[in-house]
Amino acid sequence: MTSNTTFPRIWMVTGASRGIGARITEAALAQGDAVVATARDAVALQQRFGHSEGLLALPLDVTDEAQAARAVAAALDRFGRIDVLVNNAGYGLLGAVEEASADEVRRLYETNVFGLLNVTRAVLPAMRARRQGHVINISSLGGYQSAAGFGLYCSTKFAVEGLTEALHAELAPLGIHATVVEPGYFRTDFLDAASLAVSPRVLDDYAASAGKVRVAATRINHQQPGDPLRLAQALLALVASPTPPLRLPLGTDTLQTIADKHAFVERETAQWRTLAASTDFPKQVAAAVV
């Protein structure tokens, strides 16, 4: 086991071989932290990051709960602790909700939701024992506002948002932080075939909604406004904060999406407030029941 005092922080990053996960891993290593970098292909990790005392590259398919437990055990054996868990592994699914098959949806949830839970459950016992740690779940702009063409992917990120809110409340009394990070469109390979599944079934009725998104995804690929290097630096600042937020939106597109959704909800709630409020028991009946 490497001494606990050798590295300021020990990170565990899933989906670390490319994209955001790779940038976070590189940034953490560059500042002198240690990283347990995991991906389905551990060879790809070694090729990207090389060999160093601060790197432990492990194979991990997050949908395999037993493998997640083994990876965490290996991390603790090597470094003695895990200070920061970054649940980054995941992929997108493009297509209208009706166009996706049951198998496509099931596979998506196995990775994006159940996989995240597998790794989190494996890491938390060691964090609870130390009363210290930070769980960071990578969500998306789509975890705050769903959209045509990405509805099923967004639904997995909505699940991640709900889980993180609960974790934040459950872990705070134990001295452990939980943050959900909501990146907008960053210039990674997320829209490439390696990270984005596309439903092969195409229904003409959705041409004006999800169909347009299929075309747009190809057009904006590798033209996204977000800088993944700056995102990685933002993650370093996040874990360095003594009071990290529950939510961290990243990118001006996410900030605008949040503002637009809040405005929409305010307008719609005001329009339907009378009907919404009409469903309580009358006050005299409620008082009698109490």
Catalytic residues: 139, 153, 157
Residue 145: CB atoms within 10 Å: 16
Let me know how many helices (H) and strands (E) the chain has, helices first.
11, 9
Q: How far apart are CA 124 and CA 178, in angstroms?
A: 11
123 close to 135: Cβ distance less than 8 angstroms: yes
Q: How far apart are CA 45 and CA 73, in angstroms?
A: 19
Alpha-helical regions (H) of 50-192: 65-79, 102-109, 116-130, 151-171
Helix (H) or strand (E) segment spanning residue 197: strand 196-198
Q: How far apart are CA 66 and CA 121, in angstroms?
A: 11
User: CA distances (Å), 240 to each of 56, 127, 211, 235, in order?
Assistant: 22, 17, 42, 9
Q: How far apart are CA 278 and CA 282, in angstroms?
A: 9
Pairing type for strands 34-39 and 55-59 reads: parallel
Q: How far apart are CA 64 and CA 263, in angstroms?
A: 41
Pairing type for strands 34-39 and 84-87 reads: unpaired
Residue that is written with structure tokens 């998104």 in the block: 213
